[in-house]
């Protein structure tokens, strides 16, 4: 064990002096996480409001009240424009719709509900039909809310009552009995508006308005809460790949240069030598994970939902890549060949396994293929601890697959290496 540690420390010292390898092991993964993390976070602030152009040709108190109600909706993003500008922007796709408030909109109930001469015009982008219905609902809601505000203005209401009484008196299609009943109702209502004190009136209105209580429901979170929760597991994988490739190449290099043979004639067992290499790779991987995770947590505030699960997940991923390192080291006799092969193999694994495109962004068929890549299982294990909130049982599957791949690769690598050396 002591000799394996001496061998491992030597390898780590060599790694620390190889600037090129250090870049791939530490800098590239951090840049990868940062780059994609920032891009994803920019695009994940949530949907912005529906862009609506408003044309206020009425300029009445009621139309202004109506627009203020529309502005209070988060679902809408209003811009005041002239009629021509508004229509033009809808035509060019810059606005989803244009709402034109025509003159006379604030002239009272008749103007609002006059179906023969609508005072509200809506032009919707033909490509945005789905939003059209939603917009109409919001426009109606705002209209009722504006009217509700008007109901609180007693003078305005009494004026409206007088207008309605006049209309009833002039109506030809009502019987005398109906006219009498309706006028009696409006007389009583006018008296109420005249006599009732302010407090009772407002209290009565509030009780009578359409009110509902808002329940505070927190949606169950099944996705990552930060884009770095997706990009940092990927970055860690790139660091592990770089470690694995670097140490695989170092074994090939030692065999080629002759230092491996020199170690073989020293009082060391072959197991000592290979354990030293594996330990060096393992320690380098741990350093990569610690640095990346610390950076993600303390600089970018990435939450790890289950830190106790993250440790075994990372350990299994490391063991898998140590095993892969061993088998890759047997695939070529030259450093160039080993480097080319290692990165070609790892690139394919990364493409299929979610090292480049996040697993959650993959189409279903690619997710099915990704099962063959150890990178998929590594990311899944780490994501399970970071944001997928895996249970112990759920963690078992990816960790077992990683350990199995690591063990088989390592043993196969040792066997091939032994045969090649003889």
Partner 1 sequence: MIEVQNLRKSFGTVVALDGVSFEVNHGETFGLLGPNGAGKTTAINILCGLLRPDQGTVSLDGKTDPTVPEVRLSLGVVPQTLALYEELSARENLRFFGRIYGLSGRKLKERVRNCLEIAGLTQRSRERVSKYSGGMKRRLNMVCSLLHEPPLLLLDEPTVGVDPQSRNLIFETIEAMKKQGRTIIYTTHYMEEAQRLCDRVAILDHGRILDMDSVENLIVKHGGPSHIEAEFEERPPNPDRIRQFIEDKNMRFEETKIRFKTNRPMESLAMLNRSGLRFRSLKVQTANLEDVFLNLTGRRLRDE
* Piece in contact with partner 1 (CB under 8 A), picked from 6-14, 90-98, 140-148, 315-323: 6-14
- Does 415 bind partner 1 (CB under 8 A)? Our answer is no
Site mask, partner 1, residues 204-243, x = CB under 8 A?
Answer: ----------------------------------------
For partner 1, the closer CB: 51 or 255: 255
Reduced DSSP (H G I as helix, E B as strand, rest coil) percent helix, strand, coil of the chain, to 5: 70, 5, 25
For residue 402, give the 3-state DSSP assignment.
helix
Within 8 A by CB and 6+ apart from 114, the residues are none
How many Å apart are CA 417 and CA 329, to the nearest integer? 8
Q: Which of 123, 168, 268, 304 binds partner 1 (CB under 8 A)?
A: 268
Q: Which of residues 41-80 bind partner 1 (CB under 8 A)?
A: none
- Does 3 bind partner 1 (CB under 8 A)? Our answer is yes
Q: What is the dihedral of CA 403, 407, 409, 415, to 10 degrees?
A: 180
Q: How far is the CB of 251 from partner 1 (least distance, A)?
A: 13
- Does 333 bind partner 1 (CB under 8 A)? Our answer is no
Q: How far is the CB of 341 from partner 1 (least distance, A)?
A: 23
* C-alpha Rg value of the chain to the nearest Å: 36
For partner 1, the closer CB: 14 or 351: 14
- Does 22 bind partner 1 (CB under 8 A)? Our answer is no
- Does 420 bind partner 1 (CB under 8 A)? Our answer is no
Q: 350 and 375 in contact (C-beta within 8 Å)?
A: yes
Q: Which of 181, 261, 368, 391 binds partner 1 (CB under 8 A)?
A: 261
- Does 13 bind partner 1 (CB under 8 A)? Our answer is yes
For residue 44, give the 3-state DSSP assignment.
coil
- Does 149 bind partner 1 (CB under 8 A)? Our answer is no
Q: Which of 43, 47, 207, 258 binds partner 1 (CB under 8 A)?
A: 258
Closest to 317 (Cα-Cα) out of 371, 392, 378: 378
- Does 7 bind partner 1 (CB under 8 A)? Our answer is yes
Closest to 163 (Cα-Cα) out of 113, 199, 102: 113
- Does 257 bind partner 1 (CB under 8 A)? Our answer is yes
CA-to-CA dists, residue 155 to 98, 152, 162, 190, 200, angstroms: 33, 9, 11, 10, 16
For residue 379, give the 3-state DSSP assignment.
helix
Within 8 A by CB and 6+ apart from 11, the residues are 247, 250, 276, 277, 280, 281
Closest to 52 (Cα-Cα) out of 22, 74, 35: 74
* Piece in contact with partner 1 (CB under 8 A), picked from 8-16, 56-64, 170-178, 200-208: 8-16
Q: How far is the CB of 412 from partner 1 (least distance, A)?
A: 22
- 58 phi and psi, to 5 degrees? -85, -45
For partner 1, the closer CB: 268 or 356: 268
For partner 1, the closer CB: 202 or 266: 266
Q: How far is the CB of 417 from partner 1 (least distance, A)?
A: 14
How many Å apart are CA 154 and CA 187, to the nearest integer? 14
| Contact set with partner 1 (CB under 8 A) | 3, 6-7, 10, 13-14, 17-18, 257-259, 261-269, 421-422
């Amino acid at each position: 064990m002591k000799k394996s540690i001496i061998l491992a420390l030597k390898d780590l010292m060599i790694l620390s002096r190889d600037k090129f390898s250090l870049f791939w092991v530490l800098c590239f993964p951090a840049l990868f996480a940062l780059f994609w993390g920032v891009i994803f976070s920019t695009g994940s602030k949530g949907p912005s409001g529906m862009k609506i152009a408003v044309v206020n040709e009425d300029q009445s108190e009621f139309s202004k009240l109506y627009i203020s109600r529309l502005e209070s909706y988060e679902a809408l993003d209003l811009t005041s424009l002239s009629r021509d500008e508004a229509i033009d922007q809808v035509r060019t796709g810059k606005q989803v719709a244009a709402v034109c408030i025509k003159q006379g909109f604030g002239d009272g109930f008749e103007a609002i509900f006059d179906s023969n001469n609508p005072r509200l015009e809506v032009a919707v982008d033909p490509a945005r039909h789905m939003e059209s219905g939603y917009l109409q609902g919001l426009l109606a809601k705002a209209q009722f809310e504006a009217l509700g505000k008007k109901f609180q203005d007693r003078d305005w209401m009494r004026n409206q009552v007088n207008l309605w009484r006049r209309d009833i008196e002039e109506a030809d299609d009502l019987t005398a009995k109906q006219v009498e009943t309706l006028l009696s109702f409006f007389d009583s209502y006018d008296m109420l508006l005249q006599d009732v004190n302010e407090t009772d009136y407002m209290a009565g209105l509030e009780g009578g308005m359409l009110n509902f209580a808002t329940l505070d429901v927190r949606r169950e979170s099944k996705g990552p809460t930060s884009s770095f929760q997706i990009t940092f597991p990927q970055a860690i994988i790139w660091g592990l790949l770089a470690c694995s490739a670097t140490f695989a190449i170092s074994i090939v290099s030692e065999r080629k240069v002759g230092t491996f043979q020199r170690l073989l004639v020293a009082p060391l067992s072959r197991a000592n030598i290979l354990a030293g290499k594996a330990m060096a790779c393992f320690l380098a991987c741990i350093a990569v994970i610690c640095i990346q995770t610390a950076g993600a947590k303390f600089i970018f505030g990435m939450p790890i939902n289950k830190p106790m699960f993250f440790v075994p997940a990372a350990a299994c991923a490391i063991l898998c890549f140590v095993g892969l390192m061993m088998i890759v080291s047997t695939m070529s006799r030259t450093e160039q060949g080993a480097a080319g092969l290692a990165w070609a193999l790892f690139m394919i694994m990364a493409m299929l396994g979610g090292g480049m495109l996040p697993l959650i962004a993959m189409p279903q068929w690619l997710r099915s293929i990704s099962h063959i890549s150890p990178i998929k299982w590594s990311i899944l294990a780490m994501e399970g601890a970071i944001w997928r909130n895996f249970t112990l049982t759920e963690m078992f599957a990816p960790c077992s697959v990683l350990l199995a791949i690591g063990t088989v690769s390592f043993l196969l690598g040792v066997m091939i290496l032994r045969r090649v050396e003889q």
